[in-house]
A and B are shown apart, each in its own frame.
Chain A
Amino acid sequence: MSKHVISVKVENRFGVLARVAGLFSARGYNIDSLTVSETEDESISLMTIVVRGDDRIIEQVKKQLNKLIDTIKVIDHPAGSSVQRELALVKVNAQPQKRSEIYQIAEIFKAEIVDISKKTVTLEATGDPEKIDTIIELLRPYTIRELIRTGRVSLLKEKD
């Protein structure tokens, strides 16, 4: 089952997130991630939803989202059509002798070191989700203590 990115413009109102989340759970759709924030128009929120399913399920998801009274627009973001970004914070074990290796990985991926303790380093990585996946894989051997990802946000590319 492939991953689809769907962008949903909704009224920026109390309870809308619960409606969208409830729709997914009530109908048994699998969400990989869901992000929501205000937009250039403060009366509108934009949700980026990553959902797994075949074409028929994705079609139903879009129709059901559209059916919500608070949904203004549902926009499909097929692969390659949008700019997608995600942010991750990774707290990794960093013994003194391993620390420079970790710094190197951070440098290659333009990740920032945002916190250091005697035993750990915390990195902030930003980029497309595949890049984040790679960094995490590279850091895994050092033992990841804690990991958090924002879930992806996605904007359609402008066509001239």
Chain B
Amino acid sequence: MSDVLEVRGLTKQYSKVLAADKVSFTIGEGEIFALIGPNGAGKTTTIRMISTLLMPTAGDAIVAGHSVVKEPAKVRECITYLPDEAGAYKNMTGLRYLRFMAGLFVSDIDGINAAVERAKEMCGLGDRLEDKIGSYSRGMIRKLLLSRAVMTRPKLAILDEPTSGLDVLNAIEIRKMIKELAEKEKMSFLLSSHNMLEIEFVSDRVGIITGGHLMVTGSADELKERYGANNLEEVFERVVKEHEVH
């Protein structure tokens, strides 16, 4: 399995705060990697650096062979990013939003139409896509944004809290969709979530980050075995406490 993402010692120093410290991990083709950690641990900073939104203070991340430091424009062609609590343009209809976003990734009309059709199918919003986004519920917006994130078949989809705001049934549907896309279309995912159950179900490998340090990486089963824990929640608790003691 070739690596779609290779993170090498990614570091971000704000004036007084070290938000990410030499973070390194890889994501293979069709792999789902989940980054978990407490609030302010450095997850979003790491994700934003990989998404080319923030410039690393040191280190680099290679996305599909392109450096986020040297070739950010090339990286953006290979990724999509869905921020946590992201909104959409309230005055646009769902369909208009999908067309607009598809137009930023694809140049030809046929490509745009294909991407929009794919998103329409995946989001399941039906006729509501003709309505303005301002009239959507939080869950509907999240489904729209998720379908937008995968409609152009990016090599790496970066999803920050993908199921936040969704009810249980919708969340299950989304998790299934992510797994299917990874298995069948070999799309790679970098996820961040606070929902350990979700992480355990959906991800192939997990990275636990706290205080800007990536403490451990491995599959959920490997980590449970290594820490003698019954579930991922216990692993998470032990790793975070371990870091606080040190």
Does B associate with A?
A: no
Interface residues of B (CB under 8 A from A): none
Interface residues of A (CB under 8 A from B): none
